[in-house]
Structures are given as C-alpha cells and as structure tokens.
Copies of this chain bind each other. A is one copy, B any other.
Amino acid sequence: MPGTSPTVAVIGLGAMGLPMATRLATAFTVTAFDVAEDRRAGVEGATPAATPAAAAAEADVALLVVRDEAQVRAALFGPDGVAGALRPGGVVVLTSTIGPDAARAVADELAGHSLDLVDAPVSGGPARAGAGDLLIVVGAAPEVLDRTRPVLEHLASTLTVIGERPGDGQALKAINQLLAGVHIAAAAEAVALARGLGLDPALVVETLSAGAAGSFMLSDRGPRMLQAYGEGAEVKSRLDIFVKDMGIVTGVGREAHVPLPLAAAAHQLYLLGEAGGLGAQDDSSVVTLLSPATD
C-alpha cells in the first residue's frame, strides 16, 4: 500500500493503548477495541468496535497494545479475533512485551492466515506514547516493516530495527527490561543502605547520580523511592510489570543457557514485592522491602 494511508485497528486501550490510539487518530483512520466496553468510545477521532474482528475488518494494520501473551492470543486467535477478520496481506503489529519465543509462535500462526507480524515492543510511558516519543525496537523483514512504517514512525521518536525475524524486537526489549529492572533494584539497595547507615538518602542519590554509579533509573526512581517514606510515589509504572518482564528475561536466559544471576535476584525481589501487596504500587516501592518505613 505505498502511497496510501493505512487504516489502523488498535486493540487494547489501557494506559499505553489509549494515548497511542488517540495519537494515531490524528493521522490515520482508526478503529478501536478494548475488552472494557466503556473505553471503546474514549478515543477521540476513532471509530469504536465491539470485537477485535470488527475493529480489524476494514483495517490494513492491527496494532496490539495488550498486557501479556494470553491477551495477545485471545485478541488474535480467540472468538471474534483479529486473525479471522484482517484481510490477507494485512499486518499485525505487536507492541506488547511477551518474549521472543512467544512472538515467533504468534508469527507462525499468523502466517497460516496469510498475515504478517511486525514484532515492535515499545518503551516509554503514557505521556511519551501520546506525544509520538516512544522507543520502538523492531524485528521484522524489511518489506513487512515498510507496510507499517508510517504508523510506527507516528508513534516513535526512535525506531531501531534490531533484526529481520519476529522475536528479535522482543529479545532486545527483554535486554532493556533486564537492565531497567536490575537498575531499579540496585537503586533501591543504594537508598536502603543509605538509610541503614544514617546518611541522607536524597544527598546520596544526588551525589552519585552524576558519576560512575549513575543510571537513568537512579535519577528517575531514586527520588520516587524517597517519596515512598512520605506521601508515597505516584504510580507511573506498576511493580507487577517487572514481575512479568523479569520472568520473561530469566526465561529467555534459561532457554539460551545464559546465566543471569542479577536478573534472577531482581526477579525474586519483584516477586517478594508482589507477595507483599505492592503489585499495583509504583515499582519504586520495592525499596520498602529492603528498608521499611518504620525504620
């Protein structure tokens, strides 16, 4: 479809899907579906759809913005799913983080419907999603990617093609989550140790952020961790997302026979947080496991 503007079905209108659909509707014809009926009509400029199949029926591209592999499979291959409705030659864009093996299995199953998959997991929160400022890492054959490029470029400030196979984007995203999840846990250990040693944790975070100990997460989550001992941090990224994603990371490492002792320790820490009732809290709340507020 070079030269024409694709019609896009957005499946999943949650924290990320809603701003992505809203932004796409400023440039493309968009249909929108979510399992929550009250969200379907909430995308300005888009046509609500009652099922994934209805959303996909007139679309060239189906963009999946759902939570996990189970939701991906339900949206594509469940009753009234996308796979039975998207026209042959259509492309499914998978923005969810589900792991490389799961993405490859989905690609194989879509091929049986004469559909292609662009594996395109995204990074960046809702605000960046709405501003077209996401990092999108892609695993897709060039000719398939080209059919979705205008859509992806409308959402991303950085579009990195890491490989030609579906699953390659998921692999890079898993490595991104490994680092992000370990760095958050390391920042939590740093803040907890500062408290335990009687240092001013705010001064510690500020002093160390600029040097060899610095990380994006220390600068971003460090100050939010300090809020965990006051009014509590706003939930910008739920802790249980890292329960899922570090589970994917350690699973990918296990399959590839790569030892990941720090990622495994971080995964256990997020599981401990979830077990302690912090799953729906901001991930920065993991610091309270290591240094309780009643210290």
Seen from chain A, the residues whose Cβ lies within 8 Å of a Cβ on chain B are 100, 123-124, 135, 137, 158, 160, 162-163, 168, 171-172, 174-180, 182-183, 185-187, 189-190, 192-200, 203-204, 207-208, 210-218, 220, 249, 252-253, 256-266, 268-269, 289-291
Chain B residues within 8 Å of A194, by CB: 171-172, 175
Number of copies: 2
Given contacts A123-B211, A193-B260, A253-B196, contact A183 B180 (CB under 8 A): no
- Select from chain B the residue with minimum beta-carbon distance to A210: B158
Say whether A203 contacts B123, CB under 8 Å: no
Say whether B176 contacts A182, CB under 8 Å: no
Chain B residues within 8 Å of A195, by CB: 258
In the bound assembly, the distance between CA atoms of A26 and B185 in angstroms comes to 44
Query: Which residue, of A123, A182, A264, has the highest number of chain B Cβ atoms within 10 A?
Result: A182
Chain B residues within 8 Å of A261, by CB: 185, 189, 265-266, 268-269
Say whether B216 contacts A214, CB under 8 Å: yes
Say whether B256 contacts A193, CB under 8 Å: yes
In the bound assembly, the distance between CA atoms of A274 and B183 in angstroms comes to 24
Given contacts A194-B175, A197-B171, A204-B162, contact A212 B256 (CB under 8 A): no
Say whether A183 contacts B213, CB under 8 Å: yes
In the bound assembly, the distance between CA atoms of A115 and B16 in angstroms comes to 61
Say whether A291 contacts B193, CB under 8 Å: no
In the bound assembly, the distance between CA atoms of A197 and B210 in angstroms comes to 32
- Select from chain B the residue with minimum beta-carbon distance to A253: B193
Say whether A190 contacts B211, CB under 8 Å: no
In the bound assembly, the distance between CA atoms of A209 and B200 in angstroms comes to 29
Per a CB cutoff under 8 Å, which of B160, B189, B214 touches A178? B189
Query: Which residue, of A135, A215, A268, has the highest number of chain B Cβ atoms within 10 A?
Result: A215
- Select from chain B the residue with minimum beta-carbon distance to A167: B197
Per a CB cutoff under 8 Å, which of B215, B264, B291 touches A258? B291
Say whether B176 contacts A186, CB under 8 Å: no
Say whether A213 contacts B179, CB under 8 Å: yes
Chain B residues within 8 Å of A179, by CB: 186-187, 190, 208, 213-215, 218
Chain B residues within 8 Å of A263, by CB: 186, 189
